[in-house]
Amino acid sequence: MKMPNCCRILACLCAAMTLTVAAAPAAAAAEEYPSRPIRIIVPFAAGGAVDSIARVLGQQLSLSTGRPVLVENKPGASANLGADYVAKAAPDGYTVLLAANGLATNVTLFPNMPVNTLRDFAPVAQVGFAPLVLVVSKDSPAKNLKDLISLAKQQPGKLSYASAGNGSSQHLAGEMFKIAAQIDVLHVPYKGGAPALTDLLGGRISYMMQNPLEVLPHIKAQQLHALTVAGNKRLALLPDVPTASEAGLPGFEASVWWGMVVPVKTPQEIVVKLNAEVQKALASPKVREKLGEMGVIISPSTPEQFGAFLKLEIDKWAKVIKTSGIQAD
């Protein structure tokens, strides 16, 4: 039997109302967001680079949104503790993870961990990055990168490099350097970057790859000598230090980076709005100045661009981890 016109019109109206009602909560949530305090979870202890960046961003986000932005430190398990906490939080945009390299490398380092980067998080924005700097003590016989590689080849297994621990960004970059330079050197893991630097300063370690924030004061004090920057451009803070390509090792690039993610089921409207707030914060002259002083190169991105970056980083470091047989503690 053919449905009367009035019935068909009524059915269409009911369907349209149903769609409108269904879409209303998400739209209302995005329009009102943020309506209460936002928490930035830092999966490391207070005082480090990630914590410092979170506090600079949090302060600016609070000013621009008119809502408190709180930084909470949840260190442990190679940053997996904080990541797991955020992955299991309510997907409402009020619990945000400020992540670093571990978000990409831990997928391979910890194959049985409950959190999976691509499955459990929605990317929001990349904040910035800093190419690692290869440094030696002031008394090192290596005056440039070619010297260091030559010394390593003359004494296989005799030279050593330090890291903040197995699976850390310094460790992975160190193994990538070994592969690229075709050298045999000993990895010495420490429980954190500070004790590693202490031994490097004392000449007990041959070299280390570290983020600029940690080594810049020692370079300026002429206690450490920078041989190369593992990026495709020279650092503004270290204009006289050549890139790896300029120093004779083309294609060698290793950086620490920082970015924001939220639980995977967070509405896209909220992700987009949070991204817009992050971009606004990164455009602030005060934020740019403070991050620049830390050696951070700001790299604004869309959620999609940061998601693509994460996939590339996961693949890149998976190859290094598998080739080198790296195992996390």
Q: Which residues face 41 on adjacent strands?
A: 72, 97
* 95 phi/psi in degrees, rounded to 5: -130, 110
Over range 227-241, report the average pLDDT.
94
pLDDT at 51: 94
Residue 81 and residue 122: Cα distance in Å, rounded? 18
- What local confidence, expressed as pLDDT, does residue 265 receive? 98
For the cut 80, the answer to whether the pLDDT of residue 257 exceeds it is yes
Query: pTM value?
Result: 0.86
DSSP category for residue 78: G
* CA distances for 259 relative to 12, 86, 100, 217, angstroms: 44, 14, 6, 25
Q: Mean of the pLDDT values across residues 185-197?
A: 92
pLDDT at position 295 is 87
Domain segments of the chain as ranges: 37-129+257-324, 133-229
Q: Each residue of 100-153: pLDDT tens digit? A: 999 999 999 998 888 999 999 999 999 999 999 999 999 999 999 999 999 999
Q: Is pLDDT above 70 for 22?
A: no
The C-alpha atoms of residue 258 and residue 201 are separated, in whole angstroms, by: 27
For 58-97, write each residue's pLDDT tens digit: 999 999 999 999 999 999 998 999 999 999 999 999 999 9
Q: Do domains 37-129+257-324 and 133-229 have the same CATH topology?
A: yes
Residue 211 and residue 185 in contact, taking contact as beta carbons nearer than 8 Å? no
Asked if residue 303 lies in contact with residue 123, where contact means CB atoms within 8 angstroms, the answer is yes
Q: Which CATH superfamily is domain 133-229 in?
A: Periplasmic binding protein-like II (3.40.190.10)
Cβ within 8 Å of residue 192, ≥6 positions away? 164, 165
Using CA atoms, how far residue 276 sits from 33, 126, 224, in Å, is: 12, 12, 40
Q: Which residues of 45-69 are buried (b: 16+ CB within 10 A; e: fewer)?
A: eeebbbbbbbbbbbbbbbeebebeb
Distance of CA 250 to the CA centre of its chain: 23
The predicted-structure confidence for 300-327, as pLDDT tens digits, reads as follows: 999 999 999 999 999 999 999 999 999 8
Pick the CATH number of 37-129+257-324 from 3.40.190.150, 3.40.50.2300, 3.30.460.80, 3.40.640.10: 3.40.190.150
Tokens coding 17 = 């109302």
Beta partners for residue 125, in sequence order? 260
Cα R_g (the chain), whole angstroms: 23
- What number of residues does the chain have? 329
* pLDDT tens for each residue of 203-217: 999 999 999 888 999
Burial 9-38 (b: 16+ CB within 10 A, else e): eeeeeeeeeeeeeeeeeeeebbeebbeeeb
Percent of the chain with pLDDT over 70: 90
